[in-house]
Amino acid sequence: MDIKQRSPQDKHLNKGNCDFISIYHQNIRKLRNKTQEILSHLHPNLPHVICLTEHHLRAQELNYVSMENYTIGAQFCRSDFQRGGVIMYVHSCLNFTNIDLSAYCKQKINRVCAVKIKTNSQFMCIIAVYIPPTGNYNYFLQQLDEVRKILYSPTTCLIVCGDLNINYLIENEQKRQLDNLLLIYNLTGTVNFPTRINQTATATAIDNLIIDISQYDHYSVRPFYNDLSDHDAQILTLKTPIYTQFESEKFIRIIDKETTSDFIYKLSTESWDSTFDNNYVDIMFNSFINTYLRIYYSSFPYKKIKRRTTKYSWLTMGIITSCRRKRELFLLLRSGNNPALKQHYKLYCKTLTKVIKEAKRMTFSDRILKSNNKSKTTWGTVNELTGKQQLTHEILKLDIDSNHLTNQHNIAEALNKYFATTSETIKPSLGTKKKILNIHMIIKINTLMTQLLP
């Protein structure tokens, strides 16, 4: 069932709630130099999670291939061979937890990574998988079953997306084996349209999005065409309420030439009698701090400002229109065999790529030129482009003596109790160590005295 598409940038997200979640998957066949165009095609309906298979990048390269307003939630890179790999980008409006599944990955057989996202009613575990055409399929089924056993629980919803290299448009033995395994957990493949059409016009559905359809009253799966790979993308939209963490306002202190001059003047006119009229160092220090902070707070008051929105300033209406036109030309080219159209389309794609790069360069250059603090703005731009973000993610689950705590208040109480009583538990052991240390010191002193005395 179709659901009206909305972007994580919509104003209703600032209120802290969203009534749907969207997941984008594509076998990207080399991610380098494609991130800007992916966002350009998807804007303004940006998905919450972007899953990409076959990114062809090393682990150290992923730190420099970022997407604005997205964080790398999970990833796997091949260390001994080229190509392959899976990566998941999570929008900054979501809280998530990375799930380490590296023990279930094997070179040339299967690659898998996962993140856990908290919805209003349950946890959602999204698993990204890539199976190469020459991989050991039986081994993949065994590992997939093991992963599901670990992650499955009554309060956790499993979603599997990836390039499985199993054609779901025709009946085959591999499809039947996978379906039988999925039925154990009430999971179903939802992609029933071609995801790859090769040069001989052979259509296959080897990419899939697998969910438990009984848990969702409304969901939609649709293809998305951008010609960034020989695989078409798929977008899954689930109607489920989730909490988002956009904050539209924050408080900062006003620090400029005027307030700084006021601060210096007040410090110079302060008598500091309460500080120097006492002989105790602790009292003098506390008096100094109190006086200093009183002046500081009065000179540099708080000011409420709006946070910079997540709009892509470099993404102009012209680029959005050009991306739409590129998708139209791609579908025309796929449906026919026109050499002139093919030549025009290739030139159009090259021009669009250059325009996106130049627009982004001009935007950041203009931001730095107009800044009063060019060094700070430059480093802020560098951190933005390299994906360095200071994010804090809440603890979603805590296991204590086989008890699973998910309530945030109970987790806080458990941590407070642990740190409040931990000194009592380690005190006896410290006492024993201290006694042993004293004995060793006595023996050492006696040995030295023996050597010194005749």
Q: Average pLDDT in the 196-221 region?
A: 86
Q: What pTM was estimated for this model as a whole?
A: 0.71
Crossing angle, helix 339-369 and helix 317-335, to 10 degrees?
Answer: 160
Residues facing residue 114 across a β-bridge: 99, 127
* Surface-to-core class of residue 76, CB atoms within 10 Å of its CB (0-12 exposed, 13-18 middle, 19+ buried): buried
Q: Average pLDDT in the 378-387 region?
A: 78
Helix (H) or strand (E) holding 105: none
**Does residue 447 have a pLDDT over 60?**
no
Q: Average pLDDT in the 44-48 region?
A: 89
DSSP 3-state helix, strand, coil percentages of the chain (rounded to 5)? 45, 20, 35
Task: Give the residue ranges of DSSP H helices in 65-203.
Answer: 137-151, 173-184
Say what the pLDDT of residue 450 is: 47
Backbone CA torsion sign across 361, 367, 373, 377: negative
**Does residue 343 have a pLDDT over 50?**
yes
Say what the pLDDT of residue 184 is: 85
Give the separation between CA 260 and CA 296, rounded to whole angstroms: 9
Give which of 47, 31, 68 is closest to 314, Cα–Cα: 68
Residue 284: phi and psi, rounded to 5, are -65, -40
Which residues have a Cβ under 8 Å from the Cβ of 228 and sit 6 or more positions away? Answer: 26, 28, 29, 34, 37, 38, 41
**Does residue 9 have a pLDDT over 70?**
no
Could you report the per-residue pLDDT of 273-324, keeping only the tens digit for each? 888 888 888 888 888 889 999 999 999 998 887 655 556 788 888 999 999 9
**Does residue 409 have a pLDDT over 50?**
yes
Say what the pLDDT of residue 154 is: 80
First CA to last CA across the chain, in angstroms? 98
CA atoms within 13 A of residue 426's CA, in its CB half-sphere: 6
- What are the structure tokens assigned to 67, written together? 């997407």
Q: Average pLDDT in the 151-164 region?
A: 86
Task: Give the residue ranges of DSSP H helices in 212-338.
Answer: 257-269, 273-276, 281-299, 317-335
Q: SS3 letters for 156-187?
A: EEEEEEEECCCCCCCCCHHHHHHHHHHHHCCC
Q: Average pLDDT in the 110-133 region?
A: 85
Supply the Cα-derived Rg of the chain in whole angstroms: 29
